[in-house]
Amino acid sequence: MVFIKVHQLAFFFGLMGNIVSFGVFLSPVPTFYGIYKKESSKGFQSIPYICALASATLLLYYGIMKTHAYLIISINTFGCFIEISYLFLYIIYAPREAKIFTLKLIVICNIGGLGLLILLVNLLVPKQHRVSTVGWVCAAYSLAVFASPLSVMRKVIKTKSVEYMPFLLSLSLTLNAVMWFFYGLLIKDKFIAMPNILGFLFGVAQMILYMMYQGSTKTDLPTENQLANKTEVPIVAVELPDARLDNVEPARVMK
């Protein structure tokens, strides 16, 4: 009889998490190909990709501080690279005001925020508590991000349309949460496991809503021009396959 050891199971779930996360990270490629073809990012928002970059850099920092966290480091290194690529392309084709707004957010959130965290951790936190401190920050950020699909779910119920919540994306994010939950559970890392419980529950809820409303007719949906002229910033996700103002998708966090 063949027995599978705990570390082998952990490696399997971590590897599968890398594979699923890799696919989700690449999901916005069609959006940016369209931006490249049109030579304009007007009507799109950069905030989802700024949030995704913040998530990837936080988890990369956490993975570096941990021992033997190669699977966390690998996927978030790729995540940082791909999100920077998206933002670079966005800035090239964005209108002037959007460029300035995006660059300000990058400096404040991605450079300033991470830099401040590293500085405070190294100056104020004892060495033996630094990993857990950064872990709590990552867990809190992940929980906040996983709660962002509430706005999408509300829109689906209100409009009775699943146009803004693609089933395949919801399924991918649910599978992603499952893989990283078991990885965190098996390596006894609560900072990885805990947020993905919420991610799994929201993913299942989204798929249930999709099955309930997939055959329904859209009602009173705003037009693209109306949405493009809105001044409020909606709750957005960490990763979106399409970051149009009229297409806010559920969030995901890579572990």
Q: Mind listing the pLDDT tens digit for each residue in 25-74?
A: 998 898 898 889 988 887 788 888 999 999 999 999 999 999 889 999 99
Q: Mind listing the pLDDT tens digit for each residue in 129-170?
A: 999 999 999 999 988 887 777 777 888 888 888 776 778 878
Alpha-carbon distances, residue 244 vs 27, 36, 176 (angstroms): 14, 15, 23
- Predicted TM-score (pTM) of the model is 0.80
Q: Mind listing the pLDDT tens digit for each residue in 74-103?
A: 999 999 999 999 999 999 999 999 999 999
Q: How much is the pLDDT for 237?
A: 33
